[in-house]
Structure 1
Amino acid sequence: MTATSSTASGVPMDSRIWRHLPQGLVDRVLAFLPPPAFFRFRSVCKRWYSLLFSDSFLEAHLRLSPGLPWLAFFLLPPRPPLLYSPSAAGPPSLLLLNPLSKLSSHLPPSPTPRLFPSVGLAAGPSSLSVVLAGDDLISPFAVKNLTAECFHADGATGFYSPWATASALPRLCNIDPGRMAFAAGRFYCMSCGPFAVLAYDVASNAWCKIQPPMRRFLRSPSLAECGGRVLLVAAVEKSRLSVPRSVRLWALQPCGRAWAEVERMPQEVYVRFSEAEAGRGFECVGNAEFMAITIKGSTDVLLFDFYRKEWRWAPPCPFIRGAAGGALRGFAYEPRLATPAIGLLDSSSSMPFQGFNG
């Protein structure tokens, strides 16, 4: 450690004070640092470096560190490989990963093979819930049988239920493969043919249908969670001239059945977005007060700030130049030094979760 230091205002700090602070107090101060700052300062000394492997420090960090909602993106190749196919169907393999600590763990394999399933994940500080929904391939005559199964683990109560909860989806639905949005104890996903929003309540293990707004005139509908709200984002393409083409956002109301329009893309933004999208389709992902729209077959990202009510294009990523034909896909991410949910995967009903080094 250096012999001198200074505050943010540039005034030197008295080393006779800060260098003799109790270690417990120093650790508590460091626990308030956001993860990027902690990784910069952990090179000060060996002890600070070792804090990343201290259960007591990681527990304090989970409680005290300020939340930093991020939107992370990964690049899809022009022709992504098929993960599931009728000829190579099998138990899906799901991986839980902390990009900061580089620790990962596989979930136990699902006992039911599925064709292009929809996946939902909700991971808290000491709990984990995963739902898989789709065609369980039970019929050899191309007749869909849509079911879902869930994985639950809770380190606080010791509850552990590996793929032991099964449920049937509503009749006359055709679940879209992909991911789900999670809010207030429910997973939400899209259904096409007929067009609807499906909701799965974790506590009651029950599915229901929610009629979306303007369903006859929507294109590329996508669900996202922002600030605890479920949002439906879609392009509106109504033939009547009195209703201009646009991209609109609706929020699901507290009753869980009605939608209210909360935002409409300004026309000047929509013109540029429409040229970039060119009818290829788009997806959205949200986190806190931010939402991002990614375009299929493109690396362009359009951002919306709910707090400032502002639309803007994200700057080009310098690491993916020349990725012709590739597309960005986003997901909500909050950087944490520890992910206790990873440790839950090694737990069982007789061995409840104990540590924070996940």
Structure 2
Amino acid sequence: MDGSAGESSESGSIVSSSQSSKNGAHDIDDGCPRQVSPVRIDGSRNTSPMGRVGLRNTSPSRQKVIKTKPRGLDEETIATFGKVVHPDIQMEDSIWAMLPEDLLNEILVRVPPFMIFRLRSVCKRWNSILQDSSFLKFHSQVPSHGPCLLTFWKNPHTPQCSVFSLPLKAWYRIPFTFLPQWAFWLVGSSGGLVCFSGLDGLTFKTLVCNPLTQTWRTLPSMHYNQQRQLIMVVDRIDRSFKVIATGDIYGDKSLPTEVYDSKLDRWSLHQIMPAVNLCSSKMAYCDSRLYLEALSPLGLMMYRLDTGYWEHIPAKFPRSLLDGYLVAGTQKRLFLVGRIGLYSTLQSMRIWELDHAKITWVEISRMPPKYFRALLRLSAERFECFGQDNLICFTSWNQGKGLLYDVDKKVWSWIAGCALQSYNCQVCFYEPRFDDYIY
């Protein structure tokens, strides 16, 4: 991410749309994200023109919409990046009407997922393409759209969800009324799936969903059905996911670690976490290992998913560390992010990386003072931090923007938008995919 990315996101501009509400994208006058209408994948194949024989000629020109084209893409280009819009190129209907289905799939799977909804209004064939297994197969083989930020909040009681696409630098609103009406909160996201947990009356429940397809299911009850700290991990190659419930303390009783396996569709009991004094309940999952910060004994508690056992890592924290967050990176990289300094005028935000061989934290970056002052106006102000793929995002209360740091490029940039202005907004990284089912 370069400097221009930060400038465009800091402006807070929302990509405009010339489509009507029937296309699934609505213009919002107050600068909020436009709405994207997800498709429901119900397994029906009868409505898919691509699944019928002899329909290779069903292009947009054969559906009585000869003048129709994927509108809105030019408008998005000029609104977001300020580039010159080139005149429309006349396309020969006789040629494009015979476009083979496999070539059409190769083209459409490379369209950003949020734009697919707008292209569905072109013709019946494109409208049903998200229900076609051949398209989803192509979609699973192409690279990811890129990292996004998913924000979740209730306004006042209705769940609200908006997604900021880092590649497109635009906000998109996704309807979230398909979830059950019980008090739940965001756990996290992995591989295109999003996990929530909460209370249905007095019962603690966990559910997993795909926001794009609006499919979801509730997981079975745990052995110890108490409110727990959870983290979800998706294995797209194995087409499965796991949910880990850490060894929390209920009353004076230590609860064992529980792991849900989607292939077995059940929770299994594992070792009880050794008696430690944890800094916080924030966790990071890296290289099949779950990490938590511990004060006594000082260092990290590590849970190995393959063995089901806990280990203590005596990695001492940097001096004068006021608050810290563990962030998982790629290639086994584990980061520690936190404020340092005893007095408000001397405080700064720093990033360390764990040297696994020496078991020490090595400083790799410092937040520039101008960003630190803008992010945290008060020395005691609370902030949140999370990461994915060597990207680290910072958010703080009473701020209408987030701060993004690219560890590899060493670039800082702002992310603005009304979705970050909501009270008690929960944020996580998210990878939008149509082919991620609730296994």
| TM-score range for the pair, normalised by the shorter chain length | 0.7 to 0.9
Give, as a single letter, the amino acid of the residue that structure 1 aligns with 2:292: C
1:291 is matched by which residue type in structure 2?
I
Q: Confirm whether residue 103 of structure 1 aligns to residue 196 of structure 2.
A: no
Q: Are the aligned partners of 1:220 and 1:281 in contact in 2 as well (CA < 8 Å)?
A: no
Output the CA distance in 1 between the equivalents of 2:372 and 2:218: 41
Q: In terms of mean alpha carbon deviation, does 298-307 or 99-108 score higher?
A: 298-307
Instruction: Report the alpha carbon displacement of residue 134 of structure 1 after superposing the two structures with TM.
Output: 3.4
Letter in 1 for 2:266: P
Whole-Å separation in 1 of the counterparts to 2:231 and 2:388: 15
* CA deviation profile, 1:65-110 (whole Å, cap 9, x unmatched): 53321122224799xx898xxxx99663111121211111111111
1:257 aligns to 2:359 (yes or no): yes
Tell me, yes or no, if the aligned pair for 1:91 and 1:110 is still in contact at 8 Å.
no
- 8 Å Cα contact 1:70/1:287 also seen in 2: no
Contact kept? 2:279, 2:294, Cα under 8 Å: yes
* Partner residue of 1:182 out of 280, 285, 301: 285
Contact 1:297 1:327 in 2 (8 A): no
Correspondence for 1:150: 259
Q: Which amino acid aligns with 1:122?
A: V
Matched, 1:309 2:410: yes
Are 2:436 and 1:339 aligned? yes
How far apart are the structure 2 equivalents of 1:175 and 1:268?
28
Q: Show the counterpart of 1:34.
A: 112
TM-superposed CA distance for 1:312, in Å, is: 3.2
Percent of aligned pairs sharing the same letter: 26
**What is the number of residues matched between the two proteins?**
317
1:46 aligns with 2:46: no
For the pair 1:318 / 2:318, whether they are aligned, the reply is no
Which of 393, 399, 406 aligns to 1:292? It is 393
2:322 counterpart of 1:219: yes
Look up the match of 2:191.
Answer: none
Structure 2 counterpart of 1:198, from 298, 301, 307: 301
Kindly state the Cα deviation for residue 246 of structure 1 after the two structures are TM-superposed: 1.2
Instruction: Show the counterpart of 1:122.
Output: 233
1:268 partnered with 2:370: yes
- Distance in 2 (CA, whole Å) between partners of 1:65 and 1:21 is 23
2:387 touches 2:393 (CA, 8 Å); kept in 1?
yes
Deviations 1:214-267 (A, max 9, x none): 35521221122234432211111257x9xx421111123354933321111122
C-alpha deviation, 1:288, in angstroms: 2.6
The amino acid across from 1:245 in the alignment is Q
Q: Paired residue for 1:135?
A: 248
Normalising by the residue count of structure 2, what TM-score does the alignment of the two structures yield?
Answer: 0.63
Mind listing any 5+ residue stretches in structure 2 that lack a counterpart? 1-59, 75-85, 157-182, 186-199
Once residues 301 and 43 of structure 1 are traced to their aligned partners in structure 2, the CA distance between those partners, rounded to angstroms, is 34
- Give the aligned partner of residue 347 of structure 1: none
Deviations 1:147-172 (A, max 9, x none): 3110123xxxxx42511242221332
Change (3 A) 1:131 1:110: same
Q: Quote the Cα distance in structure 2 between the aligned partners of 1:109 and 1:16.
A: 58
> What is the rounded CA distance, in whole Å, between the counterparts of 2:389 and 2:102 in structure 1?
32
Give unmatched runs, 5+ long, in structure 1.
154-158, 345-358
Would the aligned equivalents of 2:375 and 2:395 in 1 still touch at CA under 8 Å? no
8 Å Cα contact 1:299-1:327 kept in structure 2: no
Q: Distance in 2 between matches of 1:210 and 1:89?
A: 39
What code does the residue aligned with 1:207 have?
W
Per-residue deviation at 1:193? 4.9
Q: Deviations over 1:171-219 (max 9, x none)?
A: 32437335x3222212223335555332221111122223444355212
Please tell me whether the aligned partners of residues 299 and 316 of structure 2 are also in contact (alpha carbons under 8 angstroms).
no
8 Å CA contact retained: 1:174, 1:193: yes
Structure 2 equivalent of residue 350 of structure 1: none
- Gap change, CA 1:309 and 1:193, over 3 Å in 2: same
Q: CA RMSD in A?
A: 3.3
Q: Larger deviation: 221-230 or 89-98?
A: 89-98
